[in-house]
Amino acid sequence: MNRPLTANSRNEAEMISRAKRQSNMAKNPLEKFRCLLLARGATGILGFGRVFRRMDDDGSRSLGYEEFKNGIAESGLNVSDESSKELFDEFDKDGSGTVSVDEFLRAIRPPLSEGRKKVIGEAFKKLDKSGDGVITLDDLHNVYNVKHNPRYLSGEETEEQILKKFLANFESADSIDGIVTSDEFLDYYAGVSSSIDHDIYFDLMMRQAWKI
Residues 132-151: pLDDT tens digits?
A: 999 998 998 878 788 888 88
Q: Are residues 44 and 191 in contact, defined by beta-carbon separation less than 8 angstroms? A: yes
| Encoded amino acid at 45, one letter | I
Spell out the residues 6+ positions from residue 80 whose beta carbon is closer than 8 angstroms to its own.
Answer: none
Q: Name the pTM for this structure.
A: 0.83
Mean pLDDT across 20-42: 91
What are the tens digits of pLDDT across the range 152-188? Answer: 889 999 988 888 888 887 876 556 678 899 999 999 9
Q: Return the half-sphere exposure (C-beta side, CA atoms, 13 A cut-off) of residue 128.
A: 16
The pLDDT of 92-106, averaged and rounded, is 90
DSSP-based helix, strand, coil % in the chain, nearest 5: 60, 5, 35
Rounded to whole angstroms, the Cα distance separating 203 from 207 reads 6
pLDDT at residue 199 is higher than 90: yes
C-alpha–C-alpha distance, residues 95 and 100, integer Å: 12
Q: Which residue has the higher pLDDT, 208 or 125?
A: 125
How does pLDDT run across 4-18, given as a tens digit for each residue?
Answer: 655 567 788 888 999
Phi, psi (degrees; rounded to nearest 5) at 210: -105, 0
Tens digit of pLDDT for each residue in 126-135?
999 999 999 9
Count the residues in the chain. Answer: 212
In this prediction, residue 104 carries a pLDDT of 92
Q: What's phi and psi for 12, nearest 5 deg?
A: -70, -40
39-95 tens-digit pLDDT: 998 889 988 998 888 887 677 889 999 999 999 998 888 889 999 999 999 989 888
Q: Write the DSSP symbol of residue 176.
A: -
Kindly indicate the confidence band of residue 123, based on its pLDDT and cuts at 50, 70 and 90.
very high
pLDDT at 2: 54
Helices (H), strands (E): how many in the chain? 12, 4
Task: Write the single-letter amino acid at 200.
Answer: I
For range 99-116, the mean pLDDT: 93
Burial of 148 (0-12, 13-18, 19+ CB in 10 A): exposed
